Structure 1
Amino acid sequence: MSTPAYQNSLVDVQKPFDFTKVSGKTVVLTGGSSGLGLCYVRAFVKSGAFVVNGDIKPPAESFSSDRVVYVKCDVTKWEDQVTVFETARARSPNGGIDIVIANAGIYGPDALDGLTDASPAKPETKLLDVNLVGVIYTSKLAGWHFANQDQAGDRDRCLILVTSIMGYIDTQGSSVYSAAKHGVRGLMTCLRRKGVVRVNCLAPWFIATPILPESFIQSTRAQFHRRGLDFAKTDDAVTAVMRLATDTEINGRTLGVVPRQLSPSGYLDLDRDDFTPGSPLDTLQVMASSLVYGEFGASSAST
């Protein structure tokens, strides 16, 4: 199946779809041992897919199904990710990889804290290494394997990059985390026009998974309620991922997983990666997206 050309067309989140369309497909997912990643693994296995979970730790629960395989993987290590993909190709019931989800991510102290210290400390860049560099590794391997496996029939190849609502809005949290998530968004908006892979983003709002401390959940929920909002729901994140995985017409969009006060379905097309037709930024984007780069490629472009 050829990659659908990018079109600025909103995803109809009310359109029904069938989870079981993933049955028989092979899924590679990073960070599937806990939190939302574990929920995605459960959903894909339940719907009949074969899943290879690459995570630095084993799953928080055991699976009796032979349709899920765990591979120890530090996503910041290229060789570890290579092993995950090679395992998926070798173990795949259908001989290839159909869906890749770059889900692994971490949160931590802001590298720009400590501005009043007696002397500046070198910033820790692990947030960037995991949340952006690791995603770049996953994307490169997904693209390579998609291009170098059996292309017969109408087999869809799908890459889902997990960014965050913090990749779209201002935050008083970690500026480096936000920078990484903006970077994932930028990766998607470039790849969507290259035609090499069907690529989309998932951008969750705060979701109360077991990996969050209960004290944080309670404090944050109280602040949300004062604004008439709440956490987004795990089930809605799963539905959004399955929608991206099964709807072959969606390319180059970001589905935000949001409080149901903002969308009854719990997710929506953020519609923030394009500009008003004829505006200065739209004019520049149309030009840049159609530009044929010369000998030095994109590296010669203006900063």
Structure 2
Amino acid sequence: MGLGNYVNLAVDCQLAVDTKRVLGKTVVLTGGSSGLGLGFVQALVKAGAFVVNGDINPPPDSYSSSRSYFVKCNVTSWEDQVRLFQVARGKSPTGGIDVVIANAGIYGPDVLEGLGDDEPRKPDTKALDVNLVGVMYTAKLAGWYFHHQEPRDRCLILNSSIMGYIDTQGSSVYSAAKHGVRGLMTCLRRKGVVRVNCLAPWYVATGILPDTFVHNASSHLKAKGLDWATTDDAASAVMRLITDTSINGRTLGIVPRQMSPSGYMDMECDDFAEGTSLERLQSCVSSLAYGEFGAAVASEKI
């Protein structure tokens, strides 16, 4: 498959992952000091990758490796992210960047919070800044660096969420951001510039979740016949996206083992069945000529 060519084929998520193909790759990852991000760093380093972790906070003292490097980075700052990529290229054992994972994310208040206040309060949109604008910055830099390096397979992975696909009673601001990440991927996959895919994690009981939430959610999940998803399965999904060059434009949901024996599955939600109205519209729009990278419509009318 050529770089960035979108293929509408579901991923067989039960195939074994050849982690040896990660050996020697340089990975830029945001938000790698805690939660899923830390798990990704550890798994990638174990597989022989060199990982540059951009995060506001350093990784825990209990974790250190000569194959990982920490750069203090606020992903909402374009300048911070520019520096992250500059350092990554400078530190890379091969002088280049092979994989970029836009993982950094936060939870945030709901857009409707404070309805009982005497005066309307401006919504807190920091979750949009981190979870969507920051991801756009990471995607732009990944595309720029990949474009300026010699042609070979390189990939971009965007971390969305199950909340980018299904309704919940959680934060609508967080959900909007994660839907936005999904939309970013489904447009970038057709550009022919980067091989890009998404992750959509279900609930994962990492150390960043409050104990009370973990306790309450555990009881609820058990009553519904479901488990938590795991960091190890999420890391396996990342390895699959890095090593399988046939995958472009897909979202892998990180799910309970009751849903998939591997702990991840192709969401199969970003494409439409042949003959449906949405597929007809999608087929029309996907062949419409735009300017460079979709900057301007080439024709006056649609």
Q: Is 1:222 the equivalent of 2:212?
A: no
Counterpart of 1:41 in structure 2 is 41
1:255 paired residue number:
252
Matched, 1:122 2:119: no
DSSP 3-state at the match of 2:60: coil
Alignment correspondent of 1:177? 174
Per-residue CA deviation, residues 175-226 of structure 1 (Å, 9 max, x unaligned), is 0100000000000000101111000000000000011122210111101111
Q: Does 1:73 align with 2:73?
A: yes
Give yes or no for contact 1:33–1:57 (8 Å, CA) kept in 2.
yes
- Structure 2 counterparts to residues 247-286 of structure 1, below 5 A: 247-286=244-283
Distance 2:203 2:300 in 1: 36
8 Å CA contact 2:30–2:54 kept in 1: the answer is yes
Q: How many corresponding residue pairs? A: 300
Q: TM-score, normalised by structure 1?
A: 0.95
Q: Distance in 1 between matches of 2:299 and 2:288?
A: 12
User: SS at the partner of 1:109?
Assistant: coil
| Stretch of structure 1 that moved more, 111-120 or 219-228 | 111-120
- Which residue, out of 238, 242, 248, partners 2:239? 242
User: Where does 1:81-230 land on structure 2 (aligned, <5 Å)?
Assistant: 81-151=81-151, 155-230=152-227
Contact in 2 for aligned 1:205/1:231 (Cα 8 Å): yes
Q: Secondary structure of 2:122's partner?
A: coil
Runs of 4+ in 1 over 4 A off after TM superposition: 298-302
Contact 2:7 2:247 in 1 (8 A): no
Distance 1:301 1:227, change over 3 A: farther
Residues 96, 150 of structure 1: 8 Å contact kept: no
Contact 1:31 1:53 in 2 (8 A): yes
- Contact kept, 8 Å, 2:289 with 2:298, in 1: the verdict is no
- CA distance in structure 2 between the aligned counterparts of 1:246 and 1:55, rounded to whole angstroms: 25
Question: Does the residue aligned with 1:200 lie in a helix, a strand or coil?
Answer: strand
Q: Contact 1:4/1:249 (CA < 8 Å) preserved in 2?
A: no
Quick check: 126-135 or 238-247, which moved more? 238-247
Residue type of the alignment partner of 2:275: G
AA matched with 1:19: T
Q: Distance in 2 between matches of 1:18 and 1:112?
A: 46
Per-residue CA deviation, residues 265-293 of structure 1 (Å, 9 max, x unaligned), is 11100000011112111111111111102
Between the aligned partners of 1:301 and 1:202, the Cα distance in structure 2 is 36
Aligned to 1:59: 59
CA positional deviation for 1:4: 4.7
- 2:260 partner letter: S
Displacement of 1:65 in angstroms is 2.6
Partner of 1:5: 5
Cα 1:301/1:88, change in 2 over 3 Å: farther
Deviations 1:53-80 (A, max 9, x none): 0000000245443211100000000000
| C-alpha distance 4-146 of structure 1, shift in aligned 2 (>3 A) | closer
Q: CA deviation at 1:115?
A: 2.1
Q: What are the ranges of 5 or more consecutive residues in structure 1 without an aligned counterpart?
A: none
Question: Partners in 2 of 1:294 and 1:55 — Cα distance?
Answer: 35
Give the superposition deviation at 1:256: 0.1
* RMSD value, Cα: 1.9
Where 2:190 maps in the other structure, the secondary structure is helix
Shift of 1:5: 1.8
Q: Secondary structure of 1:236's partner?
A: helix
What amino acid is aligned across from residue 133 of structure 1 in structure 2?
A: V
TM-score of the aligned structures, taking structure 2 as reference length: 0.95
Distance 1:294 1:159 in 2: 23
